[in-house]
Chains A and B, each alone.
Chain A
């Protein structure tokens, strides 16, 4: 039997969280070291996942254990090219965020470490779950520690922000739960048994109307998480109030779960609705790109500025995702990783200055390049990554997304909505330079005008250590993205072709039915692709 890497990946943070809970409160150093150590072991385990061969599209490291048989709930986990890098992103950023936190978190160390381990468990679980019930459990599980991290260790208005975060996310996920139950019961009516297994549920084809409603329910949950304009207003509050570590994880990993939910669940299960509503979501993504950029530009609080820049960046991801071609989706998947790295690093950098100055207001800075030269270097590098300079990671993602959207669906031309959306989205590249360089100008250039800033110390070892891996990733993805894309592309390719088949099946159906998609795909293949496909007798009968 093969080693159960994924179970270990989930068990380790759970066990470590329990161990932390049992440790005496006074063992602060031990708790710190232990929790970081556990997360580093996680990182090592997750790197083992990368070594697998992803040239075929299926799931790897699959484990399947029945959990509640009568309801068809099972513990089923696995990774494929779509989730692999998100898992790595989680295991990479969790220790970094926790390690960076030890610079500023001084109270309730034990609970903080416990929350962080639980959070990592929730995020990893949501990324590897292949059972809808399991996914929902993990999805809700990570809400709690994040709520605590904001609400307990946050800033002045932390309770407001935490409750807002919680309620926003909760509203979406409840609708999603209802939608999941509907899907499962429709499946049960046809197949005669319950199941929450994603792969089994994928054989269910629903007619257009239920697809629209269910997709809407899923999409609301995911769009809030992304966050898509106009559901983003919880984000600035949550970021401003959250402690540095919380902000890092929130921006770097939590937001990705929204997009991941679309890719893994909402789009394959409801392709007809996704094809119809997707362009609208992409349009909202474009609105988010521009709106987020405009709003970021006028922020005076650096954290808010970065929060709004996230809205802008995630707009790109939405655009690429619903372009529904390999270039766009691969770009979107990569851009998620990029955003995790660059925005995570930006929050670390903000945290560094906040620890020294207890302010994040742009007005309080100026001329920091003189006092903190290395800090300035790191900040400028990450800024360039954030605005997508070629050679850094941001460029590859944005380029692929824009290309994907440019070549989406229709021929090139000024009549095409996708062409217009690409043009508008590309202006986001200009605005990104405007707001990020605005921040850089206000923080680093000019003379030191505030006396308090004259004695600031440059980055310390902890900060440099937590930033360096991210800088390496910036250039690694920027200069050799093929390493990452090669593992992703087969999964994306099969996602796109499966989606197309499902979509056409959905269009033909007027009542729920089960379809063996593998058989169907073969038939389409044999007929020479979709354009040539003939209707079956059954459809003629209608």
Chain B
């Protein structure tokens, strides 16, 4: 059952508050006292959070009345498109909150609010504080538009808006050109993804006839995306759904940092830490997963697209985790960890466990934001700028107790320690992969299932390992910057952060531990006890998904792998790094492999070599060619021609009379040559039953006509360039069949005889309107009739069309005309003659000249 609350203006206000904050702080923030900037910046988000809670409560209440409850707000019509069929599709600025959007709104405003609060302490001393707050607010507004937009284009405003904010915030410290470059990289890479969203959007609207998510999903469920997408490679026929999903997923790989477009996210750590926490961990980067969930009924119809997503997600999870294992800097490790965790989410989407993927978005928002803020707290404590090298830290648990405990809680959560939030969400994802193995109906799906399950388990081992490597090296052992003699050491006396920073840490840390209980597994491993899962109940209304397996062996397999991975990972880190000061990994794995992983598998260099540099080279060549080659062709060549021909002409007019005479002779000869023989052709016009034959008049020409070309001239030499003639039955030389396409007006004419002649149907009727087995037609004259047949057709039936009547072949009109031949002989003043002959198709029947009229327009369908 559906229930919709229209015009719930809270939805608009949720967005407008942060937007207003952004405008105020952006325009006049730099002239306002810092306190006021804080009130505007944090206050608007806090109000927004309160409004989000209020609307969520309303939504929650509605859920008791109807399964699919939504709040909507129609703001205004933005613009409209007209589709080929003639329907006008409006693009409405309309917002919608359903169960999916409700959760996401709470996460965005809630976690966002905490990070705003944290920023007060973290960025308070920065001279660009107001600018920072303004950008952060603008980000909140964009993200909320992304989440609440009820149609793809409105979501796209937010989608690109968050990209802009990301660009501005990564390059926030713009005086460092590398940071600004990182921002630009993020924007450009995201734009590549946006290209995919744009094209995907067109396919969606082309099929569904609407931009609204609900309509698109309904169309997907109605099977409208099932038809093939025509493609030139024969034998490959993806469905429309597959193509649309692949294009959309390209957008997701950009925004959510998946292979191949993940490369911007690690560089994005150039931004201030709250930005990394909010945008590049908790909210924006999960937008891709959110989009997949939004359109889950569409994605689930395409097994191919789903497999691509599952494999991409798994590969990304593995690749990023393998890089994170060897990195030295806190934020860099966390960045790769984010990429890897996003891979987990996409793998869940790819195996059809959308709700599980989104549950991981939810839990990840808590523990990853907490980890980033914790890293920020550490950096703040030791006065590290940009990033912090964990090999210069250590033993911070004494000085930073709050940071340490919250960090530990989050590390446990991300590693999947039992009963923490990450435990539940990761378990569910592995369960999805395991369930797919048992889909024995389709070998592709089974193998994707195996790949995903094994890949994710390995990635989970690495996750637990690198997170605890990070934890142990930072918080246990000795503080390695205490001895100030080292290479660029940090502050010798770390201090705990102010309350505005530690409160968010505590809230998020607790969240990281407990929010998992919202999504208890359906079936408890080992015991097989059925548990109530609030999460899947809640998400069920707006997110599609494959069925959750109830078989105990599958549940045990998934849980066993999850637990095992966590135990191995944490155990390994415990042995290698607890209370240690050096990187034991360098001794355990080959140095070259270590270096390669440390260099991020050199993917950036690979992209530079095979994509960026070639394009740059082409651009350079184009830039040079434009001012040389193209300009030369269009400007200098013509001007050269004019100049040179002018020079030659002026040379000729040198006053040498012989030259003039020579030129004159050439000219006279040319003129004489033209006039030596006469030129002519025949044109025919029809009047009643008589045909008027004319030919262009030439000076001094004389004409004589042989209108029926029987070799006897019908007229004497005469200066009048025309004659009139009435044709008799004997004059007919043959029959011409006309094919005329009614739509395009294309006309073809064929002479037919008593022998079979092929008809050029293909040039008249477009290929797409003919059946692929159409072998064309042949035609011949048979007495007073025309006979049509299909050569090689199974049915040898011949079709008879009386001469003088009209027929139809597909879109082409067919009719026959008698053909006569007219000849004219022309004589000029030199006495030279020349003949011109023309075949004329008579528009009337010559059988009955007495009441000759235009042929009757009767139609017979020839099939």
Q: Is the CB of A504 within 8 A of B195?
A: no
Q: Is the CB of B843 within 8 A of A540?
A: yes
Q: Is the CB of B79 within 8 A of A412?
A: no
Q: Is the CB of B198 within 8 A of A504?
A: no
Q: How far is the CB of A75 from chain B (nearest CB, A)?
A: 36
Digit string of B422-447 for contact with A (CB within 8 Å is 1, else 0)?
00000000000000000000000000
Q: Is the CB of A384 within 8 A of B164?
A: yes
Q: Which residues of A contact B187 (CB under 8 A)?
A: 433, 437
Q: Is the CB of B161 within 8 A of A391?
A: yes
A541 touches which of B619, B633, B686 (Cβ 8 Å): B686
Given contacts A414-B231, A434-B188, A542-B843, contact A390 B619 (CB under 8 A): no
Is B606 interfacial (CB 8 A cutoff)? no
Q: Which residues of A contact B82 (CB under 8 A)?
A: 325-327
Q: Is the CB of B174 within 8 A of A445?
A: yes
B79 touches which of A308, A423, A485 (Cβ 8 Å): A485
Is A413 interfacial (CB 8 A cutoff)? yes
Given contacts A297-B619, A407-B83, A482-B79, contact A541 B230 (CB under 8 A): no
Is B48 interfacial (CB 8 A cutoff)? no
Given contacts A399-B153, A537-B854, contact A441 B181 (CB under 8 A): yes
Q: Which residues of A contact B855 (CB under 8 A)?
A: 540
Is A295 interfacial (CB 8 A cutoff)? yes
Q: Is the CB of A447 within 8 A of B79?
A: no
Q: Is the CB of A535 within 8 A of B813?
A: yes
Given contacts A326-B82, A433-B191, contact A534 B742 (CB under 8 A): yes
B202 touches which of A406, A480, A507, A535 (Cβ 8 Å): A406
CA distance A438 to B76 in the complex (A): 36
Tell me which residues from 64 to 109 in chain B have a Cβ below 8 Å from any Cβ of chain A.
76-84
Q: Is the CB of A390 within 8 A of B161?
A: yes
Q: Which residues of A contact B674 (CB under 8 A)?
A: none
Q: Is the CB of A370 within 8 A of B175?
A: yes
Q: Which of A257-265, A357-365, A424-432 contacts B (4 or more CB under 8 A)?
A: A424-432
Is A112 interfacial (CB 8 A cutoff)? no
Q: Which residues of B contact A507 (CB under 8 A)?
A: 744-746
Q: Which residues of A contact B153 (CB under 8 A)?
A: 390, 399
Q: Which residues of A contact B618 (CB under 8 A)?
A: 294
Q: How far is the CB of A436 from chain B (nearest CB, A)?
A: 10
Is B50 interfacial (CB 8 A cutoff)? no
Tell me which residues from 394 to 415 in chain B have a Cβ below 8 Å from any Cβ of chain A.
none
B230 touches which of A415, A533, A542 (Cβ 8 Å): A415
CA distance A325 to B188 in the complex (A): 31
Tell me which residues from 806 to 824 in chain B have a Cβ below 8 Å from any Cβ of chain A.
813, 815
Is A89 interfacial (CB 8 A cutoff)? no
Q: Which residues of B contact A102 (CB under 8 A)?
A: none
Q: Which residues of B contact A395 (CB under 8 A)?
A: 160
Given contacts A412-B229, A480-B76, A537-B854, contact A298 B619 (CB under 8 A): yes
Given contacts A430-B188, A446-B175, A482-B77, contact A402 B198 (CB under 8 A): yes
Q: Is the CB of B743 within 8 A of A531?
A: yes
CA distance A414 to B233 in the complex (A): 9
Q: How far is the CB of B521 from chain A (nearest CB, A)?
A: 40
Given contacts A233-B635, A535-B813, contact A295 B175 (CB under 8 A): no
Q: Which residues of B contact A437 (CB under 8 A)?
A: 167, 184, 187-188
Q: Is the CB of B195 within 8 A of A426?
A: yes
Q: Is the CB of B174 within 8 A of A230?
A: no
Q: From B192, which residue of chain A is reached at the shortest CB distance?
A: A430
Q: From B198, which residue of chain A is reached at the shortest CB distance?
A: A426
Is A344 interfacial (CB 8 A cutoff)? no
CA distance A395 to B635 in the complex (A): 35
B160 touches which of A389, A416, A440, A441 (Cβ 8 Å): A389
Q: Which of B271-279, B473-481, B574-582, B620-628 contacts A (4 or more CB under 8 A)?
A: B620-628
Is A215 interfacial (CB 8 A cutoff)? no
Is B601 interfacial (CB 8 A cutoff)? no
Q: Which residues of A contact B174 (CB under 8 A)?
A: 369, 444-446
Q: Is the CB of B229 within 8 A of A414?
A: yes
Q: Which residues of B contact A415 (CB under 8 A)?
A: 230-232
Q: From A542, which residue of chain B is reached at the shortest CB distance?
A: B843
Is B589 interfacial (CB 8 A cutoff)? no
Q: Is the CB of A233 within 8 A of B631?
A: yes
Q: From A437, which residue of chain B is reached at the shortest CB distance?
A: B184
Q: How far is the CB of A272 from chain B (nearest CB, A)?
A: 9
Is A164 interfacial (CB 8 A cutoff)? yes
Q: Is the CB of A400 within 8 A of B199?
A: no
Is A45 interfacial (CB 8 A cutoff)? no
CA distance A537 to B855 in the complex (A): 9
Q: Which residues of A contact B633 (CB under 8 A)?
A: 230
Q: Is the CB of B854 within 8 A of A412?
A: no
Q: From A370, which residue of chain B is reached at the shortest CB distance?
A: B175
Is B416 interfacial (CB 8 A cutoff)? no
Q: From A538, which residue of chain B is reached at the shortest CB distance?
A: B854
Q: How far is the CB of A139 from chain B (nearest CB, A)?
A: 21
Q: How far is the CB of A442 from chain B (nearest CB, A)?
A: 9
Q: Which residues of A contact B742 (CB under 8 A)?
A: 533-535
Is A12 interfacial (CB 8 A cutoff)? no
CA distance A234 to B176 in the complex (A): 38
Is A100 interfacial (CB 8 A cutoff)? no
Digit string of A233-255 for contact with B (CB within 8 Å is 1, else 0)?
11010000000000000000000
Digit string of A310-327 for contact with B (CB within 8 Å is 1, else 0)?
000000000000000111
CA distance A367 to B175 in the complex (A): 6
Given contacts A233-B634, A447-B177, A535-B813, contact A391 B157 (CB under 8 A): yes
Q: Is the CB of A414 within 8 A of B80?
A: no
Q: Which residues of A contact B156 (CB under 8 A)?
A: 390
Q: Which residues of A contact B230 (CB under 8 A)?
A: 411-416
Q: How far is the CB of A122 from chain B (nearest CB, A)?
A: 24
Q: From A484, which residue of chain B is reached at the shortest CB distance?
A: B79
Q: From B813, which residue of chain A is reached at the shortest CB distance?
A: A535
Is B492 interfacial (CB 8 A cutoff)? no
CA distance A233 to B623 in the complex (A): 12
CA distance A390 to B176 in the complex (A): 28
Is A291 interfacial (CB 8 A cutoff)? yes
Is B630 interfacial (CB 8 A cutoff)? yes
Q: Is the CB of B78 within 8 A of A482?
A: yes
Most buried by B among A164, A482, A534: A482
CA distance A390 to B158 in the complex (A): 8
Q: Is the CB of B843 within 8 A of A541?
A: yes
Q: How far is the CB of B749 from chain A (nearest CB, A)?
A: 11
Digit string of A441-472 for contact with B (CB within 8 Å is 1, else 0)?
10011110000000000000000000000000
CA distance A336 to B167 in the complex (A): 28
Q: Is the CB of B203 within 8 A of A412?
A: yes
Q: Which residues of B contact A295 (CB under 8 A)?
A: 619, 622-623, 626
Digit string of A19-30 for contact with B (CB within 8 Å is 1, else 0)?
000000000000
A403 touches which of B202, B631, B857 (Cβ 8 Å): B202
Q: How far is the CB of A437 from chain B (nearest CB, A)?
A: 5
Q: From B857, which residue of chain A is reached at the shortest CB distance?
A: A540
Q: How far is the CB of A168 from chain B (nearest CB, A)?
A: 8
Is B171 interfacial (CB 8 A cutoff)? yes
CA distance A393 to B686 in the complex (A): 59
Q: Which residues of A contact B634 (CB under 8 A)?
A: 230-231, 233
Q: How far is the CB of B620 from chain A (nearest CB, A)?
A: 5
Q: Which residues of A contact B620 (CB under 8 A)?
A: 298
Tell me which residues from 255 to 288 in chain B have a Cβ below 8 Å from any Cβ of chain A.
none
Is A422 interfacial (CB 8 A cutoff)? yes
Is B339 interfacial (CB 8 A cutoff)? no
Q: Which residues of B contact A399 (CB under 8 A)?
A: 153, 198
Q: Is the CB of B854 within 8 A of A430?
A: no
Q: 20 extra interchain contacts, Cβ-Cβ under 8 A, other than A429-B198, A446-B175?
A: A168-B635, A294-B623, A295-B622, A297-B619, A297-B623, A389-B160, A391-B157, A400-B81, A402-B202, A414-B229, A415-B232, A426-B198, A441-B180, A445-B174, A481-B79, A482-B78, A482-B80, A507-B744, A537-B854, A540-B843
Q: Which 5 A/B pairs are nearest by Cβ-Cβ distance?
A: A507-B745, A413-B230, A445-B180, A446-B177, A298-B623
Q: List 5 A-B contacts (CB under 8 A).
A: A327-B82, A415-B231, A482-B80, A507-B745, A535-B742
